[in-house]
Structure 1
Amino acid sequence: MVGIEAAATFLVAGMASLFMAWAIGAGSSGSTPFAPAVGANAISVLRAGLIVGILGFLGAVLQGANVTEAVGTELIGGVSLSATAAIVALVVAATLVAVGVFSGYPIATAFTVTGAVVGVGLALGGDPAWAKYAEILALWVLTPFVGGGVAYGTVKLLDWGRLDERRVTAGLAGVVGAVLANVGFAVLGPAGEDGSIAGTVAAAVSLPNAAGIDPGVPAATLGIALLATGLLAADLRRDFAGGQRRFLLVMGGLVAFSAGGSQVGLAIGPLVPLFDGSGVPLLALLVGGGFGLLLGSWTGAPRMIKAIAQDYASMGPRRSIAALIPSFAIAQTAVAFGIPVSFNEIIVSAIVGAGYAAGQAGVSRRKMGYTVLAWVGSLALALGLGFGIFSAVDLIVG
């Protein structure tokens, strides 16, 4: 009987995780990456939902380990989440995210999951992980200023008449190429570690040291950046408007991939302690979480794509590119350091920054005010509900 009860508990926990993955795919990771591209009329809403689902799945499998382990083991100290605690945390967080999806307000997924996991962890008698909270809070606070500021500056740079817009846009592609060259991928590193494209190229070429410094990775990074710059420059010379749209779609794809790598951890992270020592590899959890993201993107994302693309700012290709570049960089920073971050916060901040650079075109202050309140409120509400509901369930079961 004990075996049947344990199996049933694990099954319920898995279903709660799948529900969370669906809610994230329908809301945060499924809607935000291509929202600027949809706002710029570079791609349709339905096609965006289809593509982002596939790219999000790939990102979950290839980059999801860091955030997954952080959510599962680093948000609370002294205890491991039980199956019941994981179920309560996931159901609380997923319900709040789903409410945001159907109400049209993008709830910050990382806020709800982090709050719910910390809430149930404290109810279990765990200790606050203050050092990790400091990392998380720093990224959450800096994201609007960095993302919005970089987007604002990029739009101003593109609008500055003293510089040729084609060259500036091609240079931005070089910056993106340099970032991409140093992004970690599970398939490029040794077992249990990530490897980068620049690192792989450097190892294959094996340049001699210069003054005791290995120039391999910097040289590979520079080469990839120049390649990206040259390819886009040639495309823009042939057809400026078409090349601009294609660059925008590439950026949307990179952000969608990054979303999968970051957001899957919010869905399956609470399950990590349950499967520790069970022989189930983390890759299997990542595949399952990625599948849930894909389903959410395909079935629920179009509504939120429309909300973000049309309700927050009137976006053209120029401002959309400006919004996606910092979004990609911030997302990859979060993935590298294993910090749960909300893509709604990243994208919305960048969109608002780009909108203000164009004279506050289409930016709804009232909408943004409600959104910020929803972000802060969801964190507090998730923490309180996680603590309260788990305490009640534990009291009844005990």
Structure 2
Amino acid sequence: MALETTATFAVAGLASLFMAWAIGAGSSGSTPFAPAVGANAISVMRAGLVVGVLGFLGAVLQGANVTEAVGTELIGGVTITAGAAIVALLTAAALVAIGVFTGYPIATAFTVTGAVVGVGLAMGGAPAWAKYTEIATLWVLTPFVGGGSAYVAARALQNDRIPERALTGVLGGIVGVILGNIGFAFLGAADEQGSLAGTLGSGLPVGSPFGIDLGPIILTLACAAIVGTAVYLDIGRDRDGGQRRFLLALGGLVAFSAGGSQVGLAIGPLVPILDEAAIPLWAVLVGGGTGLLLGSWTGAPRMIKAIAQDYASMGPRRSIAALIPSFAIAQTAVAFGIPVSFNEIIVSAIVGAGYAAGGAGVSKRKMGYTVLAWIGSLAVSLTVGFGAYWLLAAIGVV
């Protein structure tokens, strides 16, 4: 690369690293373990350390789908340049950082999506309406599906007529089904991801009656049985300890999923310029994962406290009810390459579980400000991204 191109890419890389730090300190670093902290299952500082490591692993093993979607599918007709990536990343990172330091969870997916689209439109690109419809559908459904599922699960766990141990085992089985079908980079072919059920199940000598491959189905049921039975037995030996261990495992799974989704928001804008820089995607995923890890370790405790203590007072059962739909929605977004806000996912689930106890501890005032912050972050990032790029282009800087 020419010296000027190298310098531009280096600046874009630093902007991406700053964005990764801001995300790690904000949504991906704070939200996964917030219910567990609220239930006193883990301390704030320890949660920040654990979520950083798991987020890094998720970024490396699952981050490709969302990364490529953010980099290439949000705008049509133009290719994001290094200068445009810098403008988009700095716009989004500044808004996320404001949220981190004020204690309000700005929706990272909203800010990055808005900034990339704004910059792309300023470059003369065409709106990618099909992708926007897909994204908007998930964003709109998340509060209803996540919050509703958390409410139903929490109500069932609090119902004295339903055996709690058996129900918790069933919930563990649902987690096992999801685990068996999530994608990992090391299980798929080149540039693809494969699941435990899909990759290992396809090799089972069970035949395919009616054209249906039974192998993945059998592996999925096996994963459900193993996880569900383990949770059931653990709850039977030690009810309180078993609940805490299940809750922490769920927090870890959500943290891993957060890394797989949120790293794409940080490094996605760099994808169009990777070929020019001769840098493989896996290397950028490692760099983005490192930024998430550093953000989680240095900035996440503040936001963990804000979400865990300011939104709802959660016990272990309601926290479990909140994290299971959060894990499912997060992995759905990763599978389809949809940028999604973990603040929206977790906060919606926390509120749903909180209302299962009659709204105990749910701050309606805080929720109102949060929803306004989500909507405002999308509008502001799109406007600022468009305006900043247009202005810099007009004076010949980009």
Say which SS state the counterpart of residue 43 (structure 1) adopts.
Answer: coil
Aligned CA-pair RMSD = 1.0
Deviation, structure 1 residue 277 = 4.8
Structure 1 runs not aligned, ≥5 long: none
How far does residue 3 in structure 1 lie from its aligned partner after superposition?
2.3
* 1:70-89 → structure 2 map (5 Å cutoff): 70-89=69-88
Alpha-carbon distance between aligned partners in 2 of 1:276 and 1:72, rounded to the nearest angstrom:
13
Give 1:341 shift.
Answer: 0.3
Q: CA deviation at 1:210?
A: 2.6
2:313 alignment partner AA: S
Match of 1:44 in 2: 43
Q: 2:316 — aligned with what?
A: 317
Cross-structure match for 1:214: 213
Give the superposition deviation at 1:160.
1.6
Give secondary structure in 2 for the equivalent of 1:361: coil
Q: Counterparts of 1:153-302 in structure 2 under 5 Å? A: 153-302=152-301
Please state if 1:144 is matched with 2:143: yes
In the alignment, is residue 69 of structure 1 matched against residue 68 of structure 2? yes
* Structure 1 counterpart SS, 2:105: coil
Give me the whole-angstrom Cα distance separating, in 2, the residues matched to 1:223 and 1:6. 52
Q: TM-score, normalised by structure 1?
A: 0.98
Q: Is the 8 A contact 2:202 2:213 kept in 1?
A: no
**Cα-to-partner distance string for 1:137-183 (whole Å, 9 max, x where unaligned):** 00000000000000000011111222100000011000000011000
1:3-35 deviation line (CA, Å, top 9, x unaligned): 222211111100000000000000000000000
Aligned to 2:129: 130
Deviation readout 1:191-234 (Å, 9 max, x if unpaired): 11111011233134331223432211111101110111111111
Aligned runs of 1:85-96 on 2, under 5 Å?
Answer: 85-96=84-95
The letter of the residue matching 1:337 is F
Cα displacement string for residues 287-320 of structure 1 (whole angstroms, at most 9, x for unaligned residues): 0000000000000000000000000000000000
Query: How far apart, CA to CA, are the structure 2 residues paired with 1:212 and 1:264?
Result: 38
Q: Which moved more, 1:139-148 or 1:191-200?
A: 191-200
3-state SS of 1:94 partner:
helix
Distance 2:37 2:278 in 1: 43
Instruction: Name the residue aligned to 1:25.
Output: 24
Range with greater deviation from structure 2 (387-396 or 274-283): 274-283
Report the AA paired with residue 148 of structure 1: G
- Bigger Cα displacement from structure 2, 311-320 vs 270-279: 270-279
Moved more, 10-19 or 274-283: 274-283
CA distance in 2, matches of 1:265, 1:310: 29
State how far apart, in whole Å, the 2-side matches of 1:200 and 1:274 are: 32
Partner-residue secondary structure (3-state), 2:35: helix
Distance 1:123 1:200 in 2: 43
* Partner Cα separation in structure 2 for residue 88 and residue 277 of structure 1: 19
The residue number in structure 2 matching 1:335 is: 334
Aligned mates of 1:199, 1:29 — CA distance in 2 = 28
**Scaled by the length of structure 2, what TM-score is found?**
0.98
Q: Give the secondary structure class of the aligned counterpart of 2:209.
A: coil
Tell me the amino acid that sits aligned with residue 295 of structure 1: L
1:287 partner amino acid: V
CA–CA separation in structure 1 for the residues paired with 2:145 and 2:210 = 35
For 1:277 and 1:90, how far apart are their aligned partners in 2?
A: 19
Deviates more, 1:276-285 or 1:334-343: 276-285
**In 1: Cα distance, 2:63 partner to 2:380 partner:** 26
**Which letter maps to 1:77?**
G
Identity among equivalent positions (%) equals 73
Equivalent residue, structure 1, for 2:97: 98
Task: After superposition, give the CA deviation of every residue in 1:19-60 in whole Å (9 maximum; x if it has no partner).
Answer: 000000000000000000000000000100000000000000
- Please state whether the residue corresponding to 1:208 is helix, strand or coil: coil
CA distance in 1, matches of 2:82, 2:220: 44
Deviations 1:90-130 (A, max 9, x none): 00000000000000000000000000000000000000000
Q: Which amino acid aligns with 1:12?
A: V
Residue ranges of structure 2 left out of the alignment (5+ in a row): none
Instruction: Provide the C-alpha distance between the structure 2 equivalents of 1:142 and 1:177, rounded to a whole number of angstroms.
Output: 23
1:323 maps to amino acid: A
Moved more, 226-235 or 286-295: 226-235
Are 1:53 and 2:65 matched, yes or no? Answer: no
Q: Which amino acid aligns with 1:202?
A: G
Distance 2:326 2:211 in 1: 35
CA offsets per residue over residues 44-100 of structure 1, 9 Å max, x none? 001000000000000000000000000000000000011111000000000000000
Distance 1:91 1:209 in 2: 52
